[in-house]
Copies of this chain bind each other. A is one copy, B any other.
Amino acid sequence: VTYDKTGHDDALERHARLAKPAGSLGRLEALGAQLAGIAGTCPPPVPEPVTVAVFAGDHGVVASGVTPWPQEITAAMVSTFAAGRAAVNAFARQVGASVVVVDVGVATPYAPSPAVLRRNVRLGTADLSTGPAMGLDEAVAAFEVGRQVAADCVAGGARCLVTGDMGIGNTTPSAALIGALTGRTAADVTGRGTGIDDDMLVTKTRVIATALARAAGLDPMGLLAEVGGLEIAALAGYVTGGAHAGVPVVIDGVIALAGTLVADALDADVRPHLIAGHRSVEPAASIALAHLGLDPLLDLGLRLGEGTGAVLAVPLLQAAARVLSEMATLDEL
């Protein structure tokens, strides 16, 4: 992983010379500098083509009553992604991004499709409220799936990676991981996910408190195994792989942030390559963003996952890069 401080500083210096008041492009000026630092050159190339990888996995914890949605929805959504008919597909088409669907741990059978990479490590996790979600070897294998997907995407031409996820019940392991890695309580990190009622929120908070108690003292990979999820482990690997391949990685909501916290804990060099696409309404998302020092580009009240918030931020990255190469300077006026 290399981050070019010279490219970063050159971009800030160039922004001061462009035909506009200094600082008038606000957040996009720092973003452009970050893209120059990642690319190792100023002006940075416009980050394209863009790939959104949607990692799917199931969660045994659904048996504990943390979500009203049946587990079968995960597999149904995998088929919906493959058919190009989910929200993330529509948004990806809007911004010119490709969608890759990766089954890392879907429990329910679904019709095979050439649009789905089957990298299933196991048929969903065990119930993390009563024991480890998976074995350490399985967490490592799922992480490796994500790392390899990132490497393959960049080898195939992608110059910007976007995180996506699908997994009924996955805000529960995500909140547990974020709580464990930031030292927060179950009450701090537990949210309503897709929109659960007050009774279910009590149950979910209790499950997460149990998970946090078991998580004490574990290293990041151990945490993934004990209280994580297969798609979250893959996201951790994907973020790591994207950073090592030298491209910007756009982070979606609370699930992606859980994986990103693990990636960051394993390898501090990952962080300069991260761009937070949006602020999810989940409380654990804001806790993770603050821990990572990330200032999200969008705040639209989204809580869908799939990569929807991150993919919507892609044109902002591209615009931030583009002004650095296409604008006149004050000298030229």
> A residues within 8 Å of B by Cβ?
18-28, 46, 69, 73, 76-77, 80, 83-87, 89-91, 93-95, 194-195, 281, 297-304, 308, 312, 315-316, 318-319, 322-323, 326-328, 332-333
Contacts and interface: CB of A to CB of B under 8 A. Distances in A.
Nearest to A18: B87
Given A25-B304, A328-B80, A90 B333 contact: no
Given A20-B87, A312-B319, A316-B312, A76 B25 contact: no
Contacts of A298: 298
Nearest to A84: B326
Contact of A328 (B73, B85, B93): B85
Most B-side CB within 10 Å, residue of A22, A94, A308: A94
List of 5 A-B pairs having minimum Cβ-Cβ separation, nearest first:
A26-B301, A21-B194, A24-B304, A85-B328, A90-B326
Nearest to A89: B326
A315 B308 CA distance: 13
Contacts of A302: 24-28
Contacts of A73: 333
A310 B328 CA distance: 21
A322 B90 contact: yes
Contacts of A24: 194-195, 302-304
A270 B20 CA distance: 32
Contact of A303 (B26, B327, B332): B26
A73 B94 CA distance: 36
A83 B332 CA distance: 12
Nearest to A281: B26
A324 to B, nearest CB: 9
A20 B86 CA distance: 8
Nearest to A83: B328
A25 B308 CA distance: 9
